[in-house]
Amino acid sequence: MKPSTLNIASPLCPVPLRDYPQVILAHGGGGKLSAELIEHIFAPAFANEHVTLLSDSTPLCLPSQRIAVSTDSFVVQPLFFPGGSIGDLAVNGTVNDLAMSGARPMYLTAGFILEEGFEMEQLIRIAKDMGRAARDAGVAIIAGDTKVVERGHGDGCYINTSGIGVLPAERKIAVDQAKPGDAVILSGSVGDHGVAIMSVREGLDFESPILSDCASLADLVQKMLDTSTNIRAMRDPTRGGVAMSLNEIAAASRCGIELDDECIPIKEPVRSACEFLGLDPLLVANEGKLIAIVAKSDADQVLNTMRAHPLGCDAAIVGHVVEDDNQLVVSRTAVGTKRIVSIPVGEQLPRIC
């Protein structure tokens, strides 16, 4: 048989898939081709001791009775962007959601909805990205599912991941725990992911050195938890950006938050891109940053721990929690006045006029 045009130099994809350089409906049909997809792409990419190809479910033992569960679906376009792919996002997004409640993420499931005609080579790249991201985050992908929809019914590839993490005993970390006086710590520069995605959007494209900050925060969070028992709340400011997360914390905790514009780390190209698109960097998405609300007494210690970690080296105290019946998030401008940091209404659209 003449090999197809698919050029696969890796051991991930032995013979049978070479016949199908693109996803076809039968790959989601539960038959031989589905099995080949699992056997030759997902299982090797996700390799871990729990994956058994034959079972309908995966039995697990958890080291704690308190667990955290989270689920998220990923529909990002384009699928590959500077600094990552939908595969990285699908793992890190759910891992980070677990970590924000103080959990140690352990297991993920992965559900794929593929569009007929999707390039097999791209699926292999995505699966590899997921495997690498999972290993980096210290989680195992232990169950999965694949469905294929007809051409024109999907954007190539959608992924859903669900995750399980174990919670430490006697810790309550939640958005309603912020108290006046607490410090607001940001783990690094804001807006990188959103700007990286926008730079490759059709019709908006610009050349930018900015990579997505997509990363697992699980290890950083563990080190922070080891440092202090007075971390009250954590959030990863994804869609809606820092503005959204802080407003949620303020509302849930029935207090206000005061920031200082000049303390918020923003990379120069991100600031510039936001400038010409007319966007507020505080509303732009991040995928590897966290906001921690920490008791004032422990703030410096937690900050030092964060700065010693590669994902927190630019961490900064950007403000503090205050008493405020209006539950407003305000920021101090460069000229010393205050502005409200409001909740974004919807999608961030480039503002031209």
Partner 1 sequence: MCLAVPGQIESLYADNDTPMGKVNFGGVVKEVCMVYLPEVQIGDYVIVHVGFAIHQIDEESAQATLESFAELGLLDDELEDLRVSGEDS
Partner 2 sequence: MKHLSEYRDGAKALKLAAEIARICKGNWAIMEVCGGQTHSIIRNGIDQIVPQNIEMIHGPGCPVCVTPISVIDKALEIAARRNVLFCSFGDMLRVPGTTSDLYRIKGGGGDVRIVYSPLDAVKLARKHPTREVVFLAIGFETTAPANAMAVKIAQQQDIHNFSVLVSHVLVPPAIEAIMNSPGNRVQAFLAAGHVCSVMGFHQYHRLASQYSIPIVVTGFEPLDLLDGIRRAVVQLEAGQSHVENAFPRVVTEAGNEVAQATIDEVFETTDRAWRGIGVIPQSGWRLKPKYAEFDAERRFAVEDIAPEESNACRAGEVLRGALKPHQCEAFGKQCTPRTPLGATMVSSEGACAAYYNYGRFVHP
Q: Under the rule (CB under 8 A), what is the footprint of partner 2?
A: 203-204, 262, 268, 271-272, 275, 277-278, 326, 328, 330, 333-340, 342, 345-346, 349-353
Structure letter (DSSP) for residue 27: G
Choose among partner 2, partner 1, none what residue 208 binds, the Cβ cut-off being 5 to 8 Å by kind: partner 1
Strand partners, 260: 332
| Residue 61 binding partner 1, by CB under 8 A | no
Nearer to partner 1, 276 or 300 (CB): 276
C-alpha 246/C-alpha 114 separation (Å) is: 35
Q: Which is nearer to partner 1, 234 or 274 (CB)?
A: 274
Residue type, 71: T
Are 320 and 181 a contacting pair, CB within 8 Å?
yes
Q: Which is nearer to partner 1, 210 or 294 (CB)?
A: 210
Burial code of 86-104, b = ≥16 C-beta within 10 A, e = fewer?
bbbbbbbbbbbbbbbbbbb
Compute the least distance from the CB of residue 208 to partner 1, in Å.
Answer: 4
Please tell me what DSSP assigns to residue 38.
I
Helix (H, G, I), strand (E, B) or coil at 186: strand
Question: Quick one: 210 or 293, whose CB is closer to partner 1?
Answer: 210
**325 interface partner picked from partner 2, partner 1, none, CB below 5 to 8 A per type:** none
CB 235 within 8 A of CB 252: no
In the range 241-280, which residues lie near partner 1 by CB under 8 A?
268-269, 271-273, 275-276, 278
Q: What are 256's strand-pairing partners?
A: 322
Q: Which is nearer to partner 1, 221 or 274 (CB)?
A: 274
Q: Could you tell which of partner 2, partner 1, none binds residue 199, using a CB distance below 5 to 8 A set by kind?
A: partner 1
Report the Cα 156 to chain-centroid distance in Å. Answer: 20
Residue 335 as a binder of partner 1 (CB under 8 A): the answer is no
Subset of residues 171 to 210 that bind partner 1, contact rule: CB under 8 A: 199, 206-210
Q: β-strand 67-74 against 80-81: which pairing, if any?
A: unpaired
Q: Which residues bind partner 1 (CB under 8 A)?
A: 199, 206-210, 268-269, 271-273, 275-276, 278, 351-353
